[in-house]
């Protein structure tokens, strides 16, 4: 049930033969010996998955493919490709990949996943007399929007020992019990914490005041309506909310 049109349409512009199934899987890709072509493509949504698909599809297409992001999204793919030697450039909101490319093998250290750490962070914030240090967590700018929101909510969070693993920013996160206050999150921040909304809603349920979240449309897509599922779970738990 994951919507596929958002990747089918740009692939067709690249001259890839894709047989559509009303925008859903399964889809068929045929080798019709067409010459695939580089494209300039504007992404209207903040989707790292679509962006990564297009970069990988363009990897051996002769010429320069450009992706213009209206809403910036996580950039793990760009960092990894550049680390491995791809001819990739980023200027403001435009990513350019000139192909064909020949990557160099390198050792890769994978940082701790921030989305997993988020649950521990909020659990400690909401517990009394608690503190924890989570080591070697990935601090990619487009992944740690939750930290910005929690700090606005007066969370006691400190980042130490910053360094880079395979091009990615990494550090240790120190967290202490905190009395959280309500906050508002605008739509521009949503792509930076899209996977952390469930645990952020829990933090907001315990914060003093009324929290307001905007730009949650992306939570309605993919395999299920995650926004509705979260709302139902919160309501079942006695949380007051308006959707």
Q: Which two tokens stand for residue 242?
A: 């308006």
Q: Which residue has the tokens 């050792």?
A: 107
Catalytic residue positions?
Answer: 195
**Beta bridge mates, 206:** none
φ, ψ of residue 183 to 5 degrees: the values are -150, 175
Question: Whole-angstrom Cα distance, residue 29 to residue 9?
Answer: 13
Question: Whole-angstrom Cα distance, residue 113 to residue 120?
Answer: 12
Count CB atoms within 10 A of the CB of residue 201: 19
CA-nearest of 88, 83, 18, 5 to 44 is 5
Using CA atoms in the order 95, 66, 31, 29, what is the torsion angle rounded to 10 degrees?
A: 60
Q: Which is it for the CA torsion 83, 89, 95, 100, positive or negative? A: negative
């Amino acid at each position: 049930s994951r919507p596929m049109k958002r990747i089918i349409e740009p692939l067709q512009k690249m001259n890839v033969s894709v047989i559509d199934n009303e925008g859903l899987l399964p889809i068929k890709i045929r080798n019709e010996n067409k010459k695939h072509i580089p494209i300039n493509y504007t992404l209207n949504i903040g989707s790292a998955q679509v962006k990564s698909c297009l970069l990988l599809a363009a990897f051996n297409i002769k010429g320069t493919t450009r992706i213009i992001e209206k809403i910036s999204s996580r950039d793990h793919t760009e960092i990894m490709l550049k680390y491995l030697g791809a001819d990739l450039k980023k200027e403001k909101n435009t990513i350019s990949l000139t192909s064909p490319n020949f990557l160099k093998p390198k050792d890769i250290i994978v940082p701790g996943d921030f989305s997993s750490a988020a649950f521990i962070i909020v659990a400690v914030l909401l517990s009394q007399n608690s503190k924890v240090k989570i080591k070697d967590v990935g601090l990619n700018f487009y992944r740690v929007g939750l930290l910005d929101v929690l700090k606005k909510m007066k969370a006691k969070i400190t980042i130490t020992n910053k360094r880079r693993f395979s091009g990615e920013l990494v550090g240790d996160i120190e967290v202490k019990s905190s009395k959280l206050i309500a906050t508002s999150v605008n739509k521009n921040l949503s792509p930076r914490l899209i996977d952390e909304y469930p645990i952020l809603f829990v933090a907001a349920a315990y914060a003093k005041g009324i929290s307001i979240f905007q730009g949650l449309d992306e939570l309605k897509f993919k395999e299920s309506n995650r926004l509705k599922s979260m709302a139902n779970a919160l309501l079942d738990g006695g949380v007051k909310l308006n959707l």
